Amino acid sequence: MNNHYDIIITGAGCAGLSLAHHLIESSSLNNKKVLLLDYASKDQNDRTWCFWTQKIPAYRSAQQKQWSHLLFRGEKQEKIDEIAPYQYVHIRGAQFYQEIFTEIEQAPSFIFQRAKVDAIRPDETRVLVETSKATYTADYVFNSISGLNIHRKSNDITTKQHFLGYVIETEKEVFDEAQATLMDFRVDQKGQSRFFYVLPFSKSKALIEFTVFSDEVLIHQEYKQVISTYLEENLGLESYRILEEERGAIPMSNTQLDNHPHPRVFHLGMAGGMTKPTTGYTFRNIQLASQNLISHRKSTRIPNLTFEYP
């Protein structure tokens, strides 16, 4: 069995799948063999991405819900603003995964293999990728698994943005689906920075997300209790049904990650330092980096990554 590929993409999250999408869309593979590796099946709605944009991306999953008005609430004031020419866009992970994997299944140059990636070892002529099932080689590796980027330049400030969110459905029509709440600080801060997002998908369905900036995550029950209190006291909801739950923690840091430590290895997404250190936004930066890589490869036949910001 020939385990050599022209390109290996390690990690089938937002960054890995975005790069796959842009590669397929660019028609620049020229019969190249591409291997996509991830231990997960990617059939669950385990992520939500939101971002600001003047032009909604061509992803079908990005066309489902956007808001042009945002509501901000503090303890003593609230303000509603129209954000034109921008829109605030929401993408559900499950739909995004399904959309890109459908593209991959129709691309003869792509192979998806479920396996845990253990190590990436480059040399002058190739890159060795060791997994739980086999060892592969490639001309170039594009990695989005954070634990595999050990090339850190500094580590001065670190904290976490952690959250628990519910997609809820109410019996009555209680939400204004034309505006999103970003953000609502009417919650006991407990010496941290705490707020809620309310992203309505219809008059009776919304994502309610409790977000905290602190060094340590909370126990699961504390998130649930704060959300329950907020729904009852702030939104006046006594009856609702929880359709989905999502939780996570985003590292917030000014750590400078080396996203191109070797001529044949590139780090993307959170692993490549593309998470905005002050807000956690990553989706738009991933798209810009993917387009940058492909554009440079088209002109020079060698990928290069110049994505960086202060």
Q: What percent of the chain has pLDDT over 90?
A: 74
Q: What pLDDT score does 309 carry?
A: 59
Task: Report angle CA 3, 9, 15 to the nearest 5 degrees.
Answer: 170
Q: Is the pLDDT of residue 299 over 80?
A: no
| Alpha-helical segments (H) within 151-202 | none
Q: Mean pLDDT across the chain, nearest whole number?
A: 91
% pLDDT > 70, the chain: 94
pLDDT for position 24:
92
Q: What is the pTM of this model?
A: 0.91
Look at strands 135-143 and 265-267 and give their pairing: parallel
pLDDT attached to residue 301: 66
- H-helix segments, 28-68: none
Would you state the pLDDT for residue 308?
62
pLDDT digit string, tens, across residues 237-260: 989 999 999 999 998 988 888 888
Alpha-carbon gap, residue 54 to 178, rounded angstroms: 17
| pLDDT above 90 (res 189) | yes
The two most distant CA atoms of the chain are separated, in Å, by 67
Give the three-class secondary structure for 206.
Answer: strand
